[in-house]
A and B are shown apart, each in its own frame.
Chain A
Amino acid sequence: MAGAAATPPGVSEAVFADALNRFAGVVGAENVYSEEEDVALYRDAYSPLWDEREEKLASAAVAPASAEEVQAVARIANELRIPLYPVSTGRNLGYGGSAPVLSGSVVLDLKRMNRILDISERDATVLVEPGVSYFDLYRHIVDNGLKLWIDCPDPGWGSVIGNAMDRGGGVTTGAYRDHFGSHCGMEVVLADGDIIRTGMGAMPGANTWQQNRYGYGPWVDGIFSQSNYGIVTKMGFWLMPAPDAYLSGTIAAHRHQDVIPLIDVMNRLENIGAFTGYPQVGSPVLFQAGAGAAPEELEAQARASGQPVWTCRLQFYGGRKVNEAQWEYCQEQFAAAIPGATFQRGEEYDLPLTPEQAEALGTEKVSFGIPNLGRFSIGARSEFNDMPTSGHVWFSPILPRTGEGLLAAQKVLFEAAEQLKPYNLSVLPMPFANWQRTFIFLINFPIYRDKDANRQTREAFRKLVKICAENGLGEYRTAPAFMNDVGDTYSFNDHALRRFHERLKDAVDPNGILSAGRYGVWPRHLRT
C-alpha cells in the first residue's frame, strides 16, 4: 500500500499543485515534502490501521521556520481550501504520531520552529516554540547551569507545547504535572492567518506574559487544547525551581478495605501540600493474584507472602529538614487512619543528583525532571520478551481518586476483560495520579504489522470505550482511530458539548482547514 494520499479530499490535482508551489514560495522548496517516500515518513508508526485502506495518510508536508511563515501557509491553505494538520514534533506515539486524522491533509510540521525564546531562572518561566522537545529544554538548562526543573512525560523527545496541547501529564509536583495547567500565555495563528497572543501577551509592552496567564476578558487558552481552532506557535510555561533535597517513603496497608482511607489521606495530604511529589498507589499482591482476585484471596496472598495488600509511595521535594518533617507528619496521618499501617523510608538525595546517581535511576529519572526514552522498552525485544510489538495505543480512562472509585473501576475492567476474553485482553489496572484530583488507568494495546491482529485490537478497544463509558469512565485522550468513538461518549444533553465545539469550529475556521476530525470535532462540510 502507498504511504501517501494522492491529494486532499475534494481538491483537484491542479489546485493542489498550485498550493504546494505557493507553500514552497513561503518556506522554500526544500521544506515542502511531496515525494511519496518523504510523505510516508509522516505515517503513524504505531497506527492500528497500518497498511489498511482506512490508514490515515498525509498527502504532503510543509515545514515552516517561523510564526510569519505559518501565517502565510495558513492564508494560502484557507484560500485554496487545503486541509492542514499541524504537528509539533510528531512524537505523540501511542496517540497518533505525525499522521493526520483526515487522510489527504497536508501535515504542517513545526519541528523546525525549535527555539527556546526566553527562559528565566528568577521567574522560573520559559517561552518556547512547538519544535522544542523536552530533551532540547533539558539540554539548555544543563548547558546553562540553571536551577530549574522541567516536568516531562515518560518519552523525552516529545514537544513541550505538543504534550501540553494534548493535555499530557508528568510525575513531579502537582502544579507542574498538569502540562496544560502549567502553561502561561500562548501565541496562536488562526485559520485565516491572523495571529493572537493570549493573557498578558495581548498587551503590547507588557513584560508579564509568562507571569499572569489570564490578562483581561474571556480566557480562551483552553479552547486551543485537544482541538482544531488554531496553530500554537509560541507558549509559555511555569517551571519548578530546582529543589535542594529529595526523599521518598512508602506506606504499606495490610487489609483490602484499607485502600479507602489510604487514598483519602493521600488526597488530603497532597492537597494541603504535606507531600510534594507524585504519589503512587500499588498492590504487589494484585499482580501476583491476578485480575479479579477477591479481597479475601488478596489478603491471604499478602499474609502468605509477607507483603502488603496496598502500598502508597510518596515523594518529597524541598530541603532535607522540610522533607523529614513532612514525611514524619504524613506517617502520623496514615497511622491514625489505618490500623496496622507500616512505613518504609525510601531513597534520599541531596540535589542536584550526581551524574552516576541519575544514570542509576533508569526510567525513574522523570521523577527528577530528567527526560529519557527508557519507557520504550514496553513492547521492545528483551530477555523477557521475544515477541516484540510494532508499537501500542493507550487506553486511558479517568476515574475517581477514591478507594471506592478505584475498586469499582477495577471491577469494570476485570469484568470487561472477561467479557472480551476472545480478544485476549491483558488488564491489570492500577491507578496513576498524574493529575491532582483524579486517577487514570493506562492500558496498553499492542500494535503489530498484522492486519488481523490490529482489527481485533480495534474491535476490543471500541468495546472497552463503550463499556467504560456505561460506567462513567471516559478517556482523557486517544489515538486518531478512536477519536470519534471517545467523542461519542461525552454525550450529555444529546451531545450538546460537541455541538458547541462545532459552532466554535464553524466560527473560527469556517472553511474547515485545520486538523479536521481532531478529538472528534469535524468542520461543517465533513460532518455526517
Chain B
Amino acid sequence: MRYALICLSAFAVCGAALAQGADYAPPPMSPIQPAVDPASLSDPAQRRGHEVFGKWCSACHGDAPGMPGTQALEAKYGGQIPALVEERADLTPELVEFYVRNGISVMPHFRKTEISDADLDDLSAYLTRDR
C-alpha cells in the first residue's frame, strides 16, 4: 500500500486549502486520499461510483492503516489478490451487489436509503471498471 504517496498528497490538499484563503483547516477524514484519482475516470457512472465509494466504503476499505475491511481482505487472501477492493480486477456487478446487500462478517448490509439501486450501479461501474 502507498502510505508515502498518501502523505505527499496530504501536503498538496493542505496547501490547496491555504491557497484558497482558508485560515483554518481541520484534517479531512481518513483515508485522506482515495486510492484512485477520480480525474483518471472518464466514465460519469464510474466517477459517481467513486463518490459512493468515498462516502460509504472507504472508511473501512480505504488505503490507510487500520482499515478493518482492507485488513480483513489482506488476511483472507494473503496478498494473492489486492486487499484494496478498488484495485481488484476480479469483481463483477453481481459480486458487488451481493456484498452491499448482504454484508459479510462484521460488515453489515446497506439499505436503499443509504446506497440506492442507482448508487449501487454506479459503485459497480467503478469497482468493475477496465484498468
Q: Interface of A with B (CB < 8 Å)?
A: 31, 33, 37-38, 41-43, 45-46, 61, 63, 89-91, 93, 97-98, 109, 111-112, 135, 138-139, 141-142, 145-147, 156-157, 242, 352-360, 362-363, 365, 370-374, 376-383, 385-386, 388-392
Contacting residues of chain B (79-115) with chain A, CB-CB under 8 angstroms:
101, 103, 105-114
Q: Which of A354, A378, A380, A381 contacts B27 (CB 8 A)?
A: A354
Considering the complex, give the chain A residue whose CB is closest to the CB of B103: A45
How far is B103's CA from A43's CA once the two chains are assembled, in angstroms?
Answer: 11
Residues of B within 8 A of A391 (CB): 106, 108
Residues of A within 8 A of B29 (CB): 135, 138-139, 142, 156, 370-372
Q: Which of B14, B55, B68, B111 contacts A111 (CB 8 A)?
A: B111
Within the complex, the shortest CB–CB distance from B60 to chain A, in Å, comes to 5
Considering the complex, give the chain B residue whose CB is closest to the CB of A37: B101
Considering the complex, give the chain B residue whose CB is closest to the CB of A39: B111
Considering the complex, give the chain B residue whose CB is closest to the CB of A33: B112
Size band of the interface chain B makes with A = 35 or more
Residues of A within 8 A of B105 (CB): 379-381, 388-390
Residues of B within 8 A of A370 (CB): 27, 29-30
The verdict on B22 contacting chain A, using a C-beta distance below 8 Å, is yes
Question: Quick check: B103 and A374 within 8 Å, CB to CB?
Answer: no
Which stretch of B5-13, B37-45, B123-131 is in the interface?
Answer: B5-13
Within the complex, the shortest CB–CB distance from A500 to chain B, in Å, comes to 35
Considering the complex, give the chain A residue whose CB is closest to the CB of B113: A111
Residues of B within 8 A of A141 (CB): 26
How far is B28's CA from A334's CA once the two chains are assembled, in angstroms?
Answer: 37
Question: Quick check: A380 and B112 within 8 Å, CB to CB?
Answer: no
- Check A380/B65 contact, CB under 8 A, given A111-B113, A111-B114: no
Residues of B within 8 A of A358 (CB): 27-28, 30, 32
Residues of B within 8 A of A89 (CB): 114
Considering the complex, give the chain A residue whose CB is closest to the CB of B61: A373
Residues of B within 8 A of A359 (CB): 6-7, 10, 27, 30-32, 64-65
Name the residue in A45, A112, A146 with the highest tally of chain B Cβ atoms < 10 Å from its Cβ.
A45
Question: Quick check: B24 and A382 within 8 Å, CB to CB?
Answer: no
Residues of B within 8 A of A33 (CB): 112
Question: Quick check: B110 and A41 within 8 Å, CB to CB?
Answer: yes
Contacting residues of chain B (48-70) with chain A, CB-CB under 8 angstroms:
55, 59-60, 64-69
Q: Which of A352, A355, A362, A392 contacts B65 (CB 8 A)?
A: A362
Within the complex, the shortest CB–CB distance from B109 to chain A, in Å, comes to 6
Question: Quick check: B24 and A376 within 8 Å, CB to CB?
Answer: no
Question: Quick check: A157 and B59 within 8 Å, CB to CB?
Answer: yes
The verdict on B19 contacting chain A, using a C-beta distance below 8 Å, is no
Within the complex, the shortest CB–CB distance from B83 to chain A, in Å, comes to 11
How far is B102's CA from A241's CA once the two chains are assembled, in angstroms?
Answer: 40
Considering the complex, give the chain B residue whose CB is closest to the CB of A142: B26
Within the complex, the shortest CB–CB distance from A320 to chain B, in Å, comes to 17
- Check A376/B109 contact, CB under 8 A, given A356-B7, A370-B30: no
Considering the complex, give the chain A residue whose CB is closest to the CB of B114: A111
How far is B112's CA from A112's CA once the two chains are assembled, in angstroms?
Answer: 10
8 further A-B contacts with Cβ under 8 Å, apart from A146-B24, A355-B10, A359-B7, are A37-B101, A38-B112, A145-B23, A355-B28, A359-B27, A370-B30, A380-B71, A386-B75
Q: Which of B26, B66, B101, B114 contacts A377 (CB 8 A)?
A: B66
Q: Which of A147, A352, A357, A389 contacts B106 (CB 8 A)?
A: A389
Residues of A within 8 A of B65 (CB): 359-360, 362
How far is B28's CA from A385's CA once the two chains are assembled, in angstroms?
Answer: 30
Q: Which of B55, B67, B72, B112 contacts A374 (CB 8 A)?
A: B67
How far is B14's CA from A372's CA once the two chains are assembled, in angstroms?
Answer: 20
8 closest pairs, A vs B, by CB? A45-B108, A358-B27, A355-B10, A381-B72, A111-B113, A388-B105, A373-B59, A362-B66
How far is B59's CA from A479's CA once the two chains are assembled, in angstroms?
Answer: 25
How far is B13's CA from A451's CA once the two chains are assembled, in angstroms?
Answer: 49
Question: Quick check: A379 and B30 within 8 Å, CB to CB?
Answer: no
Considering the complex, give the chain A residue whose CB is closest to the CB of B23: A145
Question: Quick check: A380 and B32 within 8 Å, CB to CB?
Answer: no
The verdict on B1 contacting chain A, using a C-beta distance below 8 Å, is no
Residues of A within 8 A of B106 (CB): 46, 376, 378-380, 388-392
Within the complex, the shortest CB–CB distance from B27 to chain A, in Å, comes to 4
How far is B13's CA from A90's CA once the two chains are assembled, in angstroms?
Answer: 33
Considering the complex, give the chain A residue whose CB is closest to the CB of B67: A374
Residues of B within 8 A of A386 (CB): 75
Within the complex, the shortest CB–CB distance from A450 to chain B, in Å, comes to 13
